[in-house]
Structure 1
Amino acid sequence: MLVLSPLVAAFAGAAFLIGVRLTVFPLLDPMKWYWRALLLGTAAVLSWRYMAWRFTETLAPLDWTADALFSWGFAMLEALTMLSSTVAFFILSRVKERSAEADQYSEWWLPGEAPRVDVFITTYNEPSEVLERTIIGATEIRYPRLRIFILDDGARNWVRQLCELHEIGYLARSDKEHAKAGNINHALRVHARDPAPPVFVAVLDADFVPHADFIERTLALFHEPGVALVQTPQHFFNPDPIQHNLGISTAYPDEQRHFFDNVEPARDAWGIAICCGTSSVMRVRAVEQIGWIPTQSVTEDFLLTLKLAENGWQTVYLNEPLTEGLAPEGLEEYITQRGRWCLGLMQIVRSSYSPFGMRGLGLMHRIGILDSLLYWLSTFPFRLASLICPLLYWWFGITIVNASLVEIISYYVPYYLMVLLSLNWLSKGLFVPLLNDTAQLIAAWPISRAAALGLLTSGSHKFSVTAKGGDRTKVVVQWALMRPFLLLLTLTIGGLIVPLNSDFVFNTSPTAGDGTAIVMFWTVYNILVLFVAVVVCIERPRYDRPQRQVPEPITLVIQGEKHRGWLLNLGRGGARISGPSGLSAGAAGKLDLPGIGGVDAHVAATTRDGYRIKFSPTPEQRAKIIKKLHTESAMPGADRGNILQMIRELARALTS
């Protein structure tokens, strides 16, 4: 009789799951709720199997000792993340796509007149190149009864002049109370007194360019009279800081893709889709009925969803790329934005809509709030704790997990693999452990602080605007963000080396049975995460190169000589081409661009495969460039992960 060793037997579960992923998963349809429920339900069962083992077998005996305090504390935090995941799995078990519905009801108002739609573009301090891009895109929207208005909370004269140039409306107010929500409310009240008030209002942030079919597609879902708001996804024509600084934008989607491509369609299936501010369209009558946009939170969009639901109105989601915006270009802006989202949710839970409160919300909306609350409260503190716990072992001899290698492989590995494989199956490969953990770590401390601030303090909090635009052409080292990671990296490497090579350690001899191997693996993984986080803090130069581009033939004319080649990247004021050779920097002429014509240009620099070109388009040519880059009905950037390409690009970034 063949007897397997305990280690081989422990690996059997993991091997089985990998085999199922390779042979069975490709045959399943991720749009079918029963397959989603089966796989995510299995992941939840294995998660709690692991958690039960953690509490019964791996913790220090309850006592007033450091081992007990930290091992039980970490296990409780781990259980909180498990609860968060379980609620998320429940929501993700269904999904709804509304494109066919939008096709069916594309002109539901016929044979009557098309309803009036106003487009509100909110702005505060964005530069002209950001705002003009959105204005030009808005003027290309295909819809018969459309008006466009800039809501300028900066009260800038040049913005008024820009509106006059493009023949659109301009609104400013005397005070800045309640930030963006107050700005929109002011415009709604002004337009309510209009002889021909809008029936629907579309909201765009200053840096979000609508596609030509934005209104056509979203308006179709208002065929149901109970629909108050249609939200569409936020896509980005530039990589976010993590994608850009690691050089992986072509192989790894932006950090928000999971929410907009997976979470929002799942929430919509349960009737709890949420407004995300920009790229949405709302029924004016519904918003007027609830007393306009609520102002009790810095995330007024989520609060608007809940207040509409409380009054019997529905928010729905159309998962089509109908706008594209400018992702935060710097780490500080990236972190500020996520901290604001967390703070706003905590304000809502504390003062307005607790999942356990008495407000008139249905069960699913309460579950939706609980899901968001658990995410912000558990994910980021857990990431910090995961870095600190191995240090406690190496430097102070505090045992956090007392387990054998066989037990870890038997309980942890099947749970972890099932979660990872299931989520990647339904999300097109968006979950890459090293990158996901780095993204969480970058903002972990500010978000944890924002969660505490929002839950424990009352009163209003300042609305922090995410800065956009500006000069991004130089390398910038974010030392303030990098220093904590460097310190933790030094302590982690030191914790691995010092106890093994000297007597300089604050404990006597750390022991966790053969669990020392587990801590060793944990430590090495943390070193990788911290190293990548340090690299992310080195902000690489950015150039005006929107992501959605395909090579096109061009002709560069220098001193009467034609040089044929390919357009690789196109921006508002420059391009990258390949093909021509023998040109020197500064050589001037004309660049003939498809659909735009000849633009005055000169060679700015030599690249690995061609040249970087600077040009000076006329206003008409600049408008054509913006339309070409941003208003077509296509998705910018990557929508799925490519692990092999990602490894190559990440290796190149880490070694360059």
Structure 2
Amino acid sequence: MFYLSEIQSSFAHLAFAFGASLVLSSLLDPKKVAHRTVLFGIGMALSVRYIWWRGSETLAPPGLTFDCLFSWSFFAIEAASVLSSLSAFTILTRTRSRSAEVERFMEWWKPAEEPKVAIMIATYNEDRSVLERSIVGAKASDHHNCEVIVLDDGRRDWLQRFCDDQGVRYLRRPDNKGSKAGNINHALDVLVADAERPDFIAVLDADFVPHADFISRGLALFHDAKVGLVQTPQHFFNPDPIQHNLGLSRSYPDEQRFFFDHLQPSRDAWGIAFCCGTSSVIRWEAVRAVGGFPTDSITEDFMLTLALQEEGYKTVYLNEALTEGLAPEGLKEYVTQRARWCLGLMQIARGRLGPFASNRLRLRDRWSVIDSVFFWLTTFPFKIAAMTFPLLYWFFNVTVVNASVADVVSYFGVYMIWVLFVLNFISAGLIIPIVNDVSQLLGAIPISRAAVLGLIKPKGHAFSVTAKGGDRTKVVVQWRLMRPFLILGGLTILGLFIGLFTDQFAFNDAGDGKIVILFWTVYNLIILAVTLAVCVELPRAERHFADRPERALISVDGALKRVWLTDLTQETVRIRGAGLLPGTRIAIKIRNVGRMDAIVLQATSDGGVLSLDIDPKQYEALLRRLYAEGNVPSVTRTRLSAIMTDAVARLGRR
């Protein structure tokens, strides 16, 4: 009876936390600092309560036993992860929007002194199809005093000719020393010799396309003479590998959405927003004052923020979708990019601008670096531990967490329910269990390796370029990336089978803890199954989040027909509402692009897919329409019903 009473009490705690979250979600405002502070304050209290319980009641007794070794080591990793969460929760208690400030200071300079901006597009090996839309978008800026400069570290003659045709400046250097940072620094040195130096520079990766108002809105925040850099978020016009391979492109956000839409505005409110490389505008005198972009870390962007701060210049964040780029399209590129970020951050932590080095950084800047180090150093090793430590129980009868179901529900369940509620309350539902776990697990091994390696050996690491573009039209199974998850899944299933269906192994004498370990193991199997599905890369076709059907006119054999235009890309368009035969030549008029000839590539039940015969001026207009105009292209909020519908549809396509 006592045990039943304990179970009932623990579920009452869980029900109370769930009910409180439902009530508070309708009463509180996620943008008010006071409300956020209360919610995250409760979350921090529950985090401390949980980890105190773990440390005081669930660990194996001290001694020279495997139970003690693994129980305490798992607790140490988990405690470090909770400490990282406490830092993140503290940051998230505040938030800031600068859009109203931008509106007030859109033209703070005198009319006769419009500042000059050099828009720098750094490139190494990107395809022409990637570069041309970035260049065309940069040329379309509504700030008149701009110069577009292409910084070619690939030394490609065809790109130089293309830049000449486009009327933009082309720069190349004899070597690739310093990677992207060195490329930008070379350009800065060239600009010093110009008769008219820029007042500001804007930095774009080769695959990022600025909206027409990117420069004008970014410049508005430089009314404050102490602002050295304005960072804007990165949005993407293609889904990342997790979204795409799970079929969630239109219902689930890209993996970076929470960081750019919610964590960076919170960091800005604390004065610790940082540069993220592309999509930033920088004061010329500020970047020259720090000697250009730092080259002693492969994440030169974060380090630039610290260098600017040391010289008295601050970095601010404008949370508006003013550029769009390519998310990594393949899993290898996705993982490589994140491991590079991790390695670069560890280099910063060990370098001259690290949190414990002798420098002029503020206490909050040191906290900013420590917070980032803790994120990389705890999140991903903890994910590996959470997936592997249950195997110790099934195969070796090693109990890592010795707890009753009632206590797990009361301490862990309440803590988790509350944290999920608060994070989803402030982010409009961006934190989805399982999918978030998969995004962390995919890169956990190389990221953990990079974290340790970067701390031990911070120097001598090459810059790995994230490949963008290329042929993505085939199914590709990433066997090498999948292998550890296949092995882990096989061992988990085998261990579960041995524990459940044999007499001599641990499960039969585990007592109440067997339910805890069983739930933990089954959850891990679900995560592993989804992870394996993500490792099967599906074919991609160019699509745009902002695509909406619109009316258009076509001419077939001299007869005009009104049709629906959908799925517009750089080369093709699909139309609906007219019967067409393959090979038929027609004319079509597209809004803001013009009239052009086309040929029917493929007939569909309600129309066809057309190949466009487009002249250079129309092509530029099409690029501007596809990439330099429009609203937020990314998924920025979620509905569970939409995610479930897309997931079921994805299963149906298998």
The question of a shared fold, defined as TM-score above 0.5 by the shorter chain, is answered with: yes
Q: How much does 1:111 deviate?
A: 4.4
Aligned to 1:595: 592
Aligned to 1:619: 616
**Aligned pair in 2 of structure 1 residues 340, 510: CA closer, same or farther (>3 Å)?**
farther
Q: How much does 1:19 deviate?
A: 1.5
Conserved 8 A contact 2:507-2:514: no
- Asked if residue 629 in structure 1 is aligned to residue 618 in structure 2, the reply is no
Aligned pairs for 1:399-414 within 5 A: 399-414=399-414
Give structure 2 stretches of 5+ with no counterpart.
none
**Aligned pair in 2 of structure 1 residues 379, 61: CA closer, same or farther (>3 Å)?**
same
Using the alignment, how far apart are the partners of 1:36 and 1:460 within structure 2?
42
- Asked if residue 57 in structure 1 is aligned to residue 54 in structure 2, the reply is no
1:347-399 residue CA offsets vs partner (Å, 9 max, x unmatched) = 11112333233322111111111110000000011111111011111122111
Conserved 8 A contact 2:122-2:150: yes
Q: How much does 1:606 deviate?
A: 5.5
- Asked if residue 527 in structure 1 is aligned to residue 525 in structure 2, the reply is yes
- Asked if residue 640 in structure 1 is aligned to residue 605 in structure 2, the reply is no
Conserved 8 A contact 1:296-1:460: no
**Aligned pair in 2 of structure 1 residues 115, 508: CA closer, same or farther (>3 Å)?**
closer
Aligned to 1:342: 342
Q: How much does 1:511 deviate?
A: 4.2
Using the alignment, how far apart are the partners of 1:460 and 1:174 within structure 2?
21
| SS of the residue 1:118 aligns to | strand
Using the alignment, how far apart are the partners of 2:510 and 2:595 within structure 1?
71
| SS of the residue 2:108 aligns to | coil
**Which amino acid is 1:623 matched to?**
E
- Asked if residue 538 in structure 1 is aligned to residue 542 in structure 2, the reply is no
Using the alignment, how far apart are the partners of 1:455 and 1:240 within structure 2?
29
**Aligned pair in 2 of structure 1 residues 620, 112: CA closer, same or farther (>3 Å)?**
closer
CA RMSD of superposed structures (Å)? 1.8
Using the alignment, how far apart are the partners of 1:655 and 1:532 within structure 2?
15
Q: Which piece of structure 1 moves more, 229-238 or 556-565?
A: 556-565
**Aligned pair in 2 of structure 1 residues 609, 445: CA closer, same or farther (>3 Å)?**
farther
1:512-551 residue CA offsets vs partner (Å, 9 max, x unmatched) = 4211111111111111111111111111111111212221
1:548 is aligned, of 543, 546, 549, to 546
**Which amino acid is 2:211 matched to?**
H
Using the alignment, how far apart are the partners of 1:456 and 1:596 within structure 2?
55
Conserved 8 A contact 1:248-1:646: yes
Using the alignment, how far apart are the partners of 2:520 and 2:597 within structure 1?
57
Aligned pairs for 1:209-288 within 5 A: 209-288=209-288
| SS of the residue 2:634 aligns to | coil
Using the alignment, how far apart are the partners of 2:516 and 2:602 within structure 1?
51
- Identity, in percent, stands at 51
Give structure 1 stretches of 5+ with no counterpart.
none
Conserved 8 A contact 2:404-2:512: yes
Using the alignment, how far apart are the partners of 2:265 and 2:474 within structure 1?
39
Aligned pairs for 1:287-436 within 5 A: 287-436=287-436
Conserved 8 A contact 1:267-1:273: yes
Aligned to 1:203: 203
Conserved 8 A contact 2:307-2:353: no
Q: How much does 1:580 deviate?
A: 3.2
Aligned to 1:92: 92
Conserved 8 A contact 1:401-1:512: no
Using the alignment, how far apart are the partners of 1:118 and 1:70 within structure 2?
56
Q: How much does 1:607 deviate?
A: 5.9
Using the alignment, how far apart are the partners of 1:511 and 1:73 within structure 2?
24
Q: Which piece of structure 1 moves more, 473-482 or 354-363?
A: 354-363
Using the alignment, how far apart are the partners of 1:614 and 1:312 within structure 2?
54
| SS of the residue 1:433 aligns to | coil
Using the alignment, how far apart are the partners of 1:449 and 1:47 within structure 2?
27
Aligned to 1:156: 156
Using the alignment, how far apart are the partners of 2:23 and 2:32 within structure 1?
18
Using the alignment, how far apart are the partners of 1:354 and 1:472 within structure 2?
40
| SS of the residue 1:376 aligns to | helix
Using the alignment, how far apart are the partners of 2:486 and 2:268 within structure 1?
42
1:19-40 residue CA offsets vs partner (Å, 9 max, x unmatched) = 2222222221111111111101
Using the alignment, how far apart are the partners of 1:65 and 1:560 within structure 2?
87
Q: How much does 1:485 deviate?
A: 1.3
**Aligned pair in 2 of structure 1 residues 288, 401: CA closer, same or farther (>3 Å)?**
same
Aligned pairs for 1:421-570 within 5 A: 421-502=421-502, 507=505, 511-560=509-558, 564-570=562-568
Using the alignment, how far apart are the partners of 1:80 and 1:643 within structure 2?
31
Conserved 8 A contact 2:393-2:506: no
Using the alignment, how far apart are the partners of 1:153 and 1:632 within structure 2?
28
1:8-64 residue CA offsets vs partner (Å, 9 max, x unmatched) = 211112212222222222221111111111101111110110111111111111112
Q: How much does 1:477 deviate?
A: 1.1
1:194-228 residue CA offsets vs partner (Å, 9 max, x unmatched) = 11100100001110000000111000000011111
Using the alignment, how far apart are the partners of 2:559 and 2:476 within structure 1?
40
Conserved 8 A contact 1:44-1:89: yes
Conserved 8 A contact 1:58-1:403: yes
Aligned pairs for 1:135-174 within 5 A: 135-174=135-174
Conserved 8 A contact 1:205-1:278: yes
Conserved 8 A contact 2:252-2:430: yes
**Aligned pair in 2 of structure 1 residues 92, 509: CA closer, same or farther (>3 Å)?**
closer
Using the alignment, how far apart are the partners of 2:130 and 2:323 within structure 1?
14
Using the alignment, how far apart are the partners of 2:140 and 2:509 within structure 1?
67
Conserved 8 A contact 2:298-2:463: yes
Q: Which piece of structure 1 moves more, 351-360 or 333-342?
A: 351-360
Conserved 8 A contact 1:384-1:444: yes
Q: Which piece of structure 1 moves more, 235-244 or 510-519?
A: 510-519
| SS of the residue 1:553 aligns to | strand
Using the alignment, how far apart are the partners of 2:392 and 2:648 within structure 1?
31
Conserved 8 A contact 1:376-1:447: yes
| SS of the residue 1:254 aligns to | coil
**Aligned pair in 2 of structure 1 residues 525, 4: CA closer, same or farther (>3 Å)?**
closer
Q: How much does 1:502 deviate?
A: 3.6
**Which amino acid is 1:574 matched to?**
T
Using the alignment, how far apart are the partners of 1:585 and 1:639 within structure 2?
39
Aligned to 1:12: 12
TM-score with structure 2 length normalisation? 0.97
Conserved 8 A contact 2:394-2:496: yes
Q: How much does 1:633 deviate?
A: 4.8
Conserved 8 A contact 1:120-1:148: yes
2:576 is aligned, of 578, 596, 600, to 578
Q: Which piece of structure 1 moves more, 211-220 or 545-554?
A: 545-554
1:71-128 residue CA offsets vs partner (Å, 9 max, x unmatched) = 1111110001100000000011111110011110110012441111111110010010
Aligned pairs for 1:186-201 within 5 A: 186-201=186-201
Q: How much does 1:598 deviate?
A: 3.3
Aligned to 2:67: 67
**Which amino acid is 2:462 matched to?**
K
Aligned to 1:180: 180
1:246-271 residue CA offsets vs partner (Å, 9 max, x unmatched) = 11111111111111111111111111
**Aligned pair in 2 of structure 1 residues 578, 519: CA closer, same or farther (>3 Å)?**
farther
Using the alignment, how far apart are the partners of 2:50 and 2:411 within structure 1?
5
Q: How much does 1:559 deviate?
A: 4.5
